[in-house]
Every structure is written in structure tokens, then in C-alpha cells.
A and B are shown apart, each in its own frame.
Chain A
Amino acid sequence: MNGSWNYILRRLLYLIPVLLGVCLLIFVLFNLVAPDPAALLLGKHATPEQILEVRQNLGLTKPLYEQYFDVVKSAFTFDFGRSWKTKQSITTMIRLRAIPSLTVSLPAFVFSTILSILFALLVAYYRGKGIDLFVRVSCIAMMSISSLAYILFFQWFFAYKMEWFEILGYEPGFPSVLPFISLPIIIWVILSLGPDIRFYRTVILDEIYQDYVRTAKAKGLSDRKVLLKHVLRNAMIPILTYTVIQLPFLLLGALLLESFFSIPGLGDMTIEALNESDFPVLKAMAILSAVAYVTFTLIQDILYTWVDPRVKLN
């Protein structure tokens, strides 16, 4: 037990250099490489005095190490300042926008995970037969179509032409939100099926050739029982770690889906910020998504050692 606490502590400490690195990357991109925000804000006809004033207000005249320190500070305090466009506090914006994102991404994630695992079990059961080949080829084919093409076509066909769903928009509240989020959820599920089924199929096939499966069969268990009781339980380890690492992306929402369906989530906010060159919001989203990602990688690692005692803690 001592070993695992040591491991967790070491992993926690390792977050610090990684987050400092992320801040450095974002600092380099936005403070060094990106075009001068003052010029962007003021337009072409700004006088040098105006530009200098704006640069001073934005803290861009500070020495570089202080600017870097500001980025680091925001990553550890979650205080990202205010949006240049809406003048709102970015932390408040993120809190408000996170709910619509999760309203779409959470059910979509649950449906797609369950469906993919079911499909993967089915094709693993019929491995090497026609249905297995068919599903595998369909997965690759589905992954080869641009996600934009799916969104455009589904939105046009099912919402615009068939009028089964709202074309775009969002209304909070339980039943009223459904016509707005159903189609984005369906598209999300379809987009995830290809890669997910492929992954889960590999995971399940890895287990199917293990000795314990042969033993279970030898003692007379049916194929179905072996698959559902033994194989699925052992496959839970990679399945769990695979799903945990997807969680931070749920918060970010689906950038494109939210933008196409005008769902006021974090993805939509990010794309708006991109179009408006709203630096602080873009920086905040980059930092926030990185923090979420490293946190969940840590959780994934800990879970991994916890559910599988064979994994050595190094």
C-alpha cells in the first residue's frame, strides 16, 4: 500500500513540470508567435500611441518572464481574467457554458460506449465470419468520411428536410431541450462508433485467446457465458481506462457539433473566440483542457494500478 501512495504522490508532483510546460507552449504561441493583439483590436488606422496604450492595458509591455508568470498563475488559480469581446469574467463564462456542453456530450458518450461494446462483443463472438468482416470494413469506411460531411448532411436531411428535429438553437429545461440536442447526440454516437468498435474489438479479442477462456470452456460453460461473464469482466480494465481518458473531452464538447447546431457550450464559445481573436478565452480553453487532460490521465493511471494488481507501480 505504501508503494502505491508513493506512486500517486510522485505522479502528482510530475503534474507540476507538465503544467509549466503547457503554460510555456501557450505563452510561446499566444504571446510570442501570434500577431500583435493591439493591432487586431484597433484595426488598421490606429496611431502608435493608441497601440501602446492598449498594449499597456493588456499587460503586453511587461517583461516576457512576467507575462509567462501570468499564464502560469492563471493555470493554477483558474482566474483567466476577462473576455476582450464580452468583458465578462472567463471563469463565469466557462461555468455557464459547461452545462449545455455536458447536456449533449454526456448522454452521447454513454450511448456510444454501450453501443460500441455491444457491437464489439457481437463481432468478437462471430470473429472471422462474414459479420465480423462486414463490421470491421464498415468501421474503417465510416471513419473515412469527414465529420463535417456527416454533420452537414444529417442537419440538412433530418432537421431541414424531414423536420424531425430543430435545425439549430438551444432551450434549457428537460423536455424542451430534447428537439435541440437529439440530433447532435445521434451524430456524436455515429462519429464515435467506428473508432470505438475497432478498439473494443481488439481489447476483447486480446482476452479471448487467454488460458482462462479455454479453462472456462473446458469446464462446459457456453460461449455466451464465457464471453459475458469472464471475457467482459477482464476486458473491463482497458475499457475503463479508455473511457476515463475521454472524459475531459466531454467538457470541451464537440467543437464542430456545437457550432453547427448553435448549442451555447464551451466548444461554441471556443470557435466564437477564434473568429473574434479573443485571446484570453482561447488561452483559457487551451489551459483548461490541458489541466483536465493531465488530471484524467492521472486518474487513469491510478485506476489502472488499482483495478489490476499485476501492474507494477513504477
Chain B
Amino acid sequence: MENTIKIKSRSVWSDAWDRLKRDKLAMVSLGVIIIYAVVAILSATGLLAADWDQKVGESYMAPTTEKISLLFGTDIFGYSVLRKVIHGTQIAMSVGLISTLIAIPIGISLGALAGYFGKWIDEAVVWFYTTFSSVPGIMLLMSIAFAFGKGLTTLYIALGLTSWVGLCRLIRGEVMKHKNREYVQAATAIGAGNGRKLFIHIIPNVIHLVIINASLQFQVAIKSEVILSYLGLGVTGQPSWGTMIDDAKQELAQGVWWQLAGATFAMFFVVLAFNILGDALRDALDPKLKGK
């Protein structure tokens, strides 16, 4: 054993990271997402914009560069729109993160079980996700949000419960393909059990789908928060991008555009970044799909 030569192998991940690094647009997007995440964390810990419910001036002051808090103007109560945008960032990022964290375990476990064991387990899982995906997205989202009552927790649950189907389908299909591959047969030959084959051998080979999916799911959740908040099913008692855009419905006719602009632009950059990063991740992690 002492004579074994150790070759430093390059993992798929470092390969993918190298490919991703070459994509400048993707790296900028990653930077944007990190900035939003930092802002969200600072806001959540109370270090930034914790005083969003303090008056900084008159009602509906237009944006001015005199004071940082007035950069985006004020709302009807004289609150700083900039601080509301920052607080909204915290809401948006946490909605994206938590709903994705709810969807991923459901998607992976059901998809893997169905793909690996097949037979009645597969049929049951396929029936389960067909049922979920048969109610059109917005109707299901509304029904779940309505049933659980409005609030932030409801947003997490509703978006989490509606976004696992795509991932589950993908994982099921990939696991099905992988379970008859030679490396799994080899694992069977040395006596690996089902659990070991599935968790140690197969799942690491399909996990990249989770990352691609999560990146795209994140922005869907951010966009849905806005719609659900407009429908009165989302956040209450604190500002979010959705409630800000909802306020703008009454404000535009009075010439107050800054609340709409602030929330829309804040949302635009992060959703755009997730869209670009999602595409780039797919190219980097799944070279077969490149260009599709």
C-alpha cells in the first residue's frame, strides 16, 4: 500500500467552478447576489434600516441627494423609501431562501425514492406530483396562501409547497438513468445496500441539478412574493417589495413614482442576477446541455 501513487484528482465541482469563473457575466451576477445577501443579513440583524418606521421628513418627498435616507424619497407616512427597499431585500431574500430550503428536501427525497425503487413507489410519487402540478401555479399558490392565512410564514409554506415538483421530476428521471449504470452495478457487486448506493453513489451524481434548480427557483419565489403581497396574502405590518408596489397603485396618479421605481429596480437586479447565474450554472455543471 505504501507504494500507491496519489494522483490529485480534479473534482467535477472544481471543473465547473473553473468554467463558471471564465463567464464574466455570471461572476458579476454572483457578486450582485452576494451584495443582496449581505444587505439582507445586515437588515435582519438590525444593523441596517432597522429604523425604517421612523419619519425622516414630510409625506411624499421626492428623491434628493441631500441625505442618504432621502435618496429614494419618502412614502405617505414620511418613511424613507430607501430603508423600506432595504427591509424589502431582507424579506425577498428570506422568502427565496426558505421556500427553496423547503422545496429541495421534498423534491430530492421523493424524486430519488421514485427513480430508484420504481414500481408502486414510483407510481405513487408520480401521482402525487401530477396532482400538485395539475392545479395551475397561481391558483394553487392562492389557495395555499388563503388556507394558511396571510403572513410571512404562509409565504414560505405556499412557495415551498408549490416549487418542489420540477426538481422532483428532474431527480426522478436522472436517478432512473443512473441506477443501471456500471458504477452502481460495481457498488452492488461489492455488497452495497440500497441506502448506500442511493445516498453515497447516485445522489452525488445528480446533486448539480439541485443547484441549477435552486438558482432559478429563488427568483421565481421573489417574483411571487410581490404578486401574493399585492393580492393581500403576503407580508403585513412591514414593508416588502410587493407591498411597496401595491402602494404605488394609489401613488402614481399623484405623480409619486419613486416607491414603484425603488422596489422595481431593487427586484430587477437580483432577479436578473439569478436568471443569468442559473443559466451559467447549467452550462457549467451540465456541459451536455450547453447552448440549449
Q: Show the binding face of A for B, using Cβ within 8 Å.
A: 17-18, 21-22, 24-26, 29-30, 33-35, 140-141, 143-149, 152-153, 156, 160, 202, 205-206, 248-249, 252, 255-256, 270-271, 274-275, 277, 282, 285-286, 289-290, 293-294, 297
Contacts and interface: CB of A to CB of B under 8 A. Distances in A.
A17 B127 contact: yes
A286 B143 contact: yes
30 contacts: A18-B127, A18-B130, A18-B134, A21-B130, A22-B134, A22-B135, A26-B143, A29-B143, A29-B144, A29-B147, A33-B147, A140-B279, A143-B271, A146-B223, A146-B226, A146-B264, A148-B246, A149-B264, A152-B249, A160-B253, A202-B292, A205-B292, A206-B292, A249-B136, A256-B227, A274-B142, A282-B142, A289-B135, A293-B134, A293-B135
A293 B131 contact: no
Contacts of B140: 25, 286
A34 B135 contact: no
Contacts, number: 124
Interface string B142-174: 111011110000000000000000000000000
Given A29-B147, A152-B260, A256-B227, A145 B136 contact: no
B131 A24 contact: yes
B138 interface: yes
B220 to A, nearest CB: 10
Contact of B135 (A25, A140, A256, A274): A25
A143 B275 contact: yes
9 residue pairs, one from A and one from B, having the closest CB atoms: A21-B131, A144-B272, A144-B271, A156-B252, A34-B147, A33-B147, A149-B264, A29-B147, A290-B134
B191 interface: no
A144 B268 contact: yes
Contacts of A141: 268, 272
Contacts of A153: 252, 260
A203 B4 CA distance: 50
A30 B143 contact: yes
Interface of A is mostly: helix
A282 B226 CA distance: 21
A135 B219 CA distance: 21
Given A18-B130, A256-B230, 17 more contacts: A18-B131, A21-B130, A26-B135, A29-B146, A140-B275, A144-B271, A146-B245, A152-B245, A152-B249, A205-B292, A248-B136, A252-B136, A252-B139, A270-B139, A271-B231, A274-B233, A289-B135
A204 B244 CA distance: 40
B128 interface: yes
Interface of B: 127-128, 130-132, 134-136, 138-140, 142-144, 146-149, 219, 223, 226-227, 230-233, 241-242, 245-246, 248-249, 252-253, 260, 263-264, 267-269, 271-272, 275-276, 279, 291-292
B245 A255 contact: no
Interface centre among A26, A140, A146, A256, by most chain B C-beta atoms within 10 angstroms, is: A146
B146 A294 contact: no
B156 to A, nearest CB: 15
Nearest to B249: A152
Contact of B267 (A21, A24, A146): A146
Interface centre among A140, A152, A255, A285, by most chain B C-beta atoms within 10 angstroms, is: A152
Contacts of A275: 232
A206 B226 CA distance: 35
Contacts of A294: 134
B256 to A, nearest CB: 11
B29 to A, nearest CB: 10
Nearest to B232: A275
Nearest to B142: A274
A212 B268 CA distance: 41
B124 to A, nearest CB: 10
A25 B132 contact: yes
A140 B245 contact: no
A205 B290 CA distance: 12
Nearest to B140: A286
Nearest to B279: A140
B275 A144 contact: yes
Contacts of A156: 252-253
Given A29-B147, A34-B147, A286-B143, A145 B264 contact: yes
Contacts of A271: 231
A140 B272 contact: yes
A116 to B, nearest CB: 18
A208 to B, nearest CB: 11
B131 A25 contact: yes
Contacts of B253: 156, 160
Contacts of B232: 274-275
